Structure 1
Amino acid sequence: MVHMPRPTREQIEDEILETAATLFARHGFKETSIQRVADAVGYSKTGLLHRFPSKEALQRAVIDRAVGEVRAIAAAAAELPPGRARDRVVITGVARLALDRPGAVALVLSGLMNAPDSEFATVLDDIGQLVFGAFGIDDPDCAAAADPMRILRITGALGALAVTSVALHDKPYPAALDDIVTVSCDALGHGRAQID
């Protein structure tokens, strides 16, 4: 009989937060109950409430983690001027996050895609601004920052990243980080030869 080590507190919390992020992205905050999250992770509702005392506390933990992860990506690119190198750093960070935490990326991107008056747009607006800001969209010294085509390309690159990483996550042919970065940078219009 093989004895599996018990997961650490951190591993359990990661699993809960990732699962909750996936369910929030798919069903919305209102439609995702504590029981639904507990069932998805295989814990009792009581056990889940022991870790997160309310649905709102769980939502806040999921959002805080997503904000922290996006801020770290933005910080890694902050010193670079808007353009190819900065885009690659941001795309690589988001792609790595998508491979490690597809639920978190699905949640972040669902916030970008919902109507302005939806629950997600209200709650996740700051994350969307952080994502676009990481690409230098908010840089007043960069004329390309406000270019509608650049905004469209960034949106397309994030869409390509989300589809390739999230949709292929559980398949027998998972997408590799470099492949996702290449596809996403291509969507930004940089082309492979110019990036590598």
Structure 2
Amino acid sequence: MVARAAQKLPIRDQVIEAATRLFAARGFDATPLQDIADEVGVTKQAVLHHFPSKEQIRRGVLDSILAHWRDELPRLLLSATASDERFDSVLDEVYRFFAASPERARFIVREALDRPAEAREMLRAIAPILRGIGGYIRTGLGERSDDIDPDAYVLHVMQMIIGAAAVAEVTTSVLDAGGQARYDRELARIAKASLFGRRRAAAEPAKKGRRS
């Protein structure tokens, strides 16, 4: 079989990419180790040289996803100066990451459905980062945050983005030309509206008062 993974990548990274695709498409339990080896174009023993078991491969897939967020999200939060800029940066990066490889989103959805205990473990690993984003939102909203739970809001937005990326290839077929771009724009608008739409709405009376 011709390997689908980029040949320039180290074997270990090729195994992670192949496993992400196969676990996303079939689920962990329905993916034999040999199929992962075939997808990469190497022997089963070559895969076992890097990962002693299929469970270790699953761990590698999770670690590759989590490592991105452990590195990238703190950088985004520190680089933006305003709370809405931070939220925009994080939102854009989360969707870009999963849209670039929808298999990542499908893998997470499958983990949540098929292996909920492991999915909860994954969420616990990134909980401090998610709470950090919630803290920035809370600070940015100030006194207007009383009717919003920023931590729960972040979870809903993450879930919405992951779900949208996982099924985008199917659902965007309902839209006419330019469907993917329209899909992406509306997703971003929905995610931001309940936070920053409230800020704009609060600012409008003040502007009118200054004009009168």
TM-score range, shorter chain: 0.5 to 0.7
Residue aligning to 1:3: none
How far apart are residue 98 of structure 1 and its match?
0.6
- The reply to whether residue 57 of structure 1 matches residue 82 of structure 2 is no
Q: 1:32 to 1:145 in 2, by over 3 A?
A: farther
Superimposed CA distance per residue, residues 67-107 of structure 1 (whole angstroms, 9 cap, x where no aligned partner):
21112331232224673211111111111111222233344
1:132 aligns to 2:136 (yes or no): no
- CA shift, 1:36, in A, is 5.0
Note the residue ranges of structure 1 that are not aligned, 5 or more in a row. 1-5
TM-score where L is the length of structure 2: 0.61
Deviates more, 1:97-106 or 1:86-95: 97-106
Deviation of 1:62 (Å): 1.6
Q: 1:116·1:122 contact (CA, 8 Å) conserved in 2?
A: no
Percent identity for Structure 1 against Structure 2 = 21
SS of 2:180's equivalent in the other structure is: coil
Separation in 2, partners of 1:37, 1:24: 9
Aligned partner of 1:103 in structure 2 is: 103
The residue number in structure 1 matching 2:180 is 175
Contact 2:20–2:61 at 8 Å: present in 1 too? yes
Aligned-residue CA RMSD (Å): 4.2
Asked whether the 8 Å contact 1:20–1:62 carries over to 2, the reply is yes
- The letter of the residue matching 1:21 is T
* CA separation of 1:91 and 1:109: change in aligned 2, threshold 3 A: farther
SS in 2 for 1:8: coil
Structure 2's unaligned 5+ residue stretches are: 201-212
Contact 1:17 1:58 in 2 (8 A): yes
Contact 2:83 / 2:136 at 8 angstroms: preserved in 1?
no
Distance 1:61 1:77, change over 3 A: same
Residue 126 of structure 2 corresponds to residue 121 of structure 1: no
Q: Distance in 2 between matches of 1:11 and 1:53?
A: 17
Alpha-carbon spacing, 1:116–1:38, altered in 2? closer, same or farther (3 Å):
closer
Q: Which residue identity lines up with residue 70 of structure 2 in the other structure?
A: R
* Structure showing greater Rg: 2
Q: Could you tell me which residue of structure 1 aligns to residue 92 of structure 2?
A: 92
